[in-house]
Amino acid sequence: MKRMEKRKPLLMKGLMIVLTLAFGMTSCNDDDEKKGTPYNPSLPVVIESFAPTEGMLSTQVIISGSNFGTDKENLHVFFNDKEAPIISSSGNKILVLAPKLPGKYVNGELDNNCQIRVVVGDKEATAKETFLYNVQTIVTTVVGGDKSATSYPLGGENLAEVQFNNKMERNLVIDSENNIYFIMDVGTSDPYSVYVINEASGKIRLLDSDLSSFLTTYFLAYDPVGDRCYRTATNIGFNETYYYDRFNDFAQTRSFTLSWVKDDGINDQPEIDGWNAFSCKHSMAYRPSDGCWYMRVDQGYFAKINPTTGQVTDISGRYDRRHDNHGSGFAGTDGECDGMAFDPTDDTKLYFSMTGLNAILLYDFETEILSVYAGSNTRQAGYLDGRCNEALFNSPRQIAIDNERNMYIADYDNNCIRKIVMETGYVSTLAGTPQKPGYTNGTGDIAQFDHPYGLVLSKDGAIYVGDSENRAIRRIAIE
């Protein structure tokens, strides 16, 4: 799939658009000062023209025609299927703002030529020409970015002053208030600390410190129903799970203790070989329809966790490599699962990344079938955009899916952020310079990352990335 290219109008064309817009706005405001022309239901709604003919988010567009009326409650303007905010209407001119991302996917390609449609009551009209929406993908730094830093935050500092003395190599969590949680190894004797930042407040807060590194590390997970960030250990034998209660000053609260003992009293804990037992759990996802957590454990196990009792059930099914089943293991026996996400429109579908397979996998709870959703079927690492079954990844990490079923992937060893339009099954590069690590802010095509690991989505569509080697949290805005 081709990367989106920004159109660069000639200077004269740009000046003409500005002059036309200014004249149109003046005319519209002058008309508003008069009585205006009310809507007549016996007459058709007519669009004669609009200006400018291209622009980005919140570009002011004036639509000229007739029988629009002056009642904004009875008037609606659409760019394709996205409704545009209306500033004013005089009856023969409407002043609107271009809505966010109104383009459509056609045969897997994003088409940003938008049909403008005016609806008044039960009548409507569509413009003959189309409006070209210019998408902007902008990468900035929220916090960190200095690889030479030797100190770590103690909490309470302004984000602009904060640097980190180690890599940002854990997954992220974001809640409904855009609080971003992450774990850092700060290099002390008990090195792991849990932080939360918020762009609006501009502050960082230390939630937990002095977490021991003896035989384990830690990871975070998000419960979208309770709107909580959870922490647990990667060691198969460390079973305490906590959450940070933002409704109670982010107090650390014990939630449940994992128990691998079945109802018949038999210990069903996975058999993890050697040192791998100390770091074999890396992510888990909450399923709203049944209120349970799910995780893929290293060396081929798939587990269901009841948060009320802490009971863990191995549901590897046909892939179970124990109990004389001779299965191949759930997603094989190699590699880590650092990202899991349920389809927000159908949580019978669970997607997860596998570093060892260089792929995104799909597990269907109804059919109990596991398949490669995107990437290589043969573990091939590489970089290639295109259809899901053609695309290549290189050690994908955390993933996230928005409500419009776009999947975003931190493609770790390709040093970029990938996007899958799930409706069409196309993979593209959203931001970063593929296979070229670096640290550059700017538009998506020139921005650089250095081994992006964590990735979460805010409720307003911003993407936050834990940029591991750059020791930073970056923000991607798509507008």
Q: Are 133 and 116 in contact (CB under 8 A)?
A: no
The pLDDT value recorded for residue 335 is 86
Q: For 75-79, 185-189, 240-244, 474-478, which range has the lowest pLDDT when averaged over its residues?
A: 185-189
How far is the C-alpha of 459 from the C-alpha of 178, rounded, in Å? 8
Residue 403's Cβ-count burial label (10 Å; 0-12, 13-18, 19+) is exposed
Helix (H) or strand (E) holding 209: strand 203-211
The pLDDT value recorded for residue 323 is 64
> Does residue 409 carry a pLDDT above 70?
yes
> Does residue 226 carry a pLDDT above 60?
yes
How far is the C-alpha of 130 from the C-alpha of 116, rounded, in Å? 7
How far is the C-alpha of 458 from the C-alpha of 474, rounded, in Å? 13
The pLDDT value recorded for residue 110 is 84
**Side chain identity, residue 45:** V
- pLDDT tens digits, residue range 458-479? 999 999 999 999 999 999 999 9
DSSP 50: E
Torsion (CA) 171, 138, 57, 406 in degrees, nearest 10: -40
Give the model's confidence band at 363: pLDDT under 50 very low, under 70 low, under 90 confident, else very high. Answer: very high
> Does residue 18 carry a pLDDT above 90?
no
The pLDDT value recorded for residue 327 is 77
The pLDDT value recorded for residue 325 is 61
- pLDDT tens digits, residue range 239-297? 999 999 999 999 999 999 999 887 677 788 888 888 888 999 999 999 999 999 999 99
Give the model's confidence band at 28: pLDDT under 50 very low, under 70 low, under 90 confident, else very high. Answer: very low
The pLDDT value recorded for residue 229 is 98
- pLDDT tens digits, residue range 115-156? 999 999 999 999 999 999 999 999 999 999 999 999 999 999
The pLDDT value recorded for residue 326 is 65
Tell me which residue of 83, 103, 7, 178 sits closest to 421, measured CA to CA: 103
The mean pLDDT of 203-226, rounded to a whole number, is: 95
The pLDDT value recorded for residue 349 is 98
Residue with token string 């992006």: 452
Query: How confident is the prediction for the chain on average, in pLDDT?
Result: 91
- pLDDT tens digits, residue range 344-354? 999 999 999 99
- pLDDT tens digits, residue range 158-176? 999 999 999 999 999 999 9
The pLDDT value recorded for residue 333 is 86
DSSP one-letter string for 130-176:
EEEE---EEEEEEEE--TT------SS-BGGG---SS---S--EE-T
Tell me which residue of 129, 59, 117, 107 sits closest to 87, measured CA to CA: 59
Beta bridge partners of 51: 62
The pLDDT value recorded for residue 12 is 38
> Does residue 31 carry a pLDDT above 60?
no
Q: Are 91 and 36 in contact (CB under 8 A)?
A: yes
DSSP 110: E
Tell me which residue of 301, 300, 303, 322 sits closest to 312, measured CA to CA: 303
> Does residue 107 carry a pLDDT above 70?
yes
Residue 339 CA: distances (Å) to CA of 2, 18, 21, 295, 464:
26, 46, 46, 10, 14
The pLDDT value recorded for residue 26 is 43
How far is the C-alpha of 319 from the C-alpha of 325, rounded, in Å? 8
Tell me which residue of 192, 204, 184 sits closest to 142, measured CA to CA: 204
Q: For 47-61, 252-266, 402-416, 449-463, which range has the lowest pLDDT when averaged over its residues?
A: 252-266
Proportion of the chain above pLDDT 90, given as a percent: 81
The pLDDT value recorded for residue 3 is 40
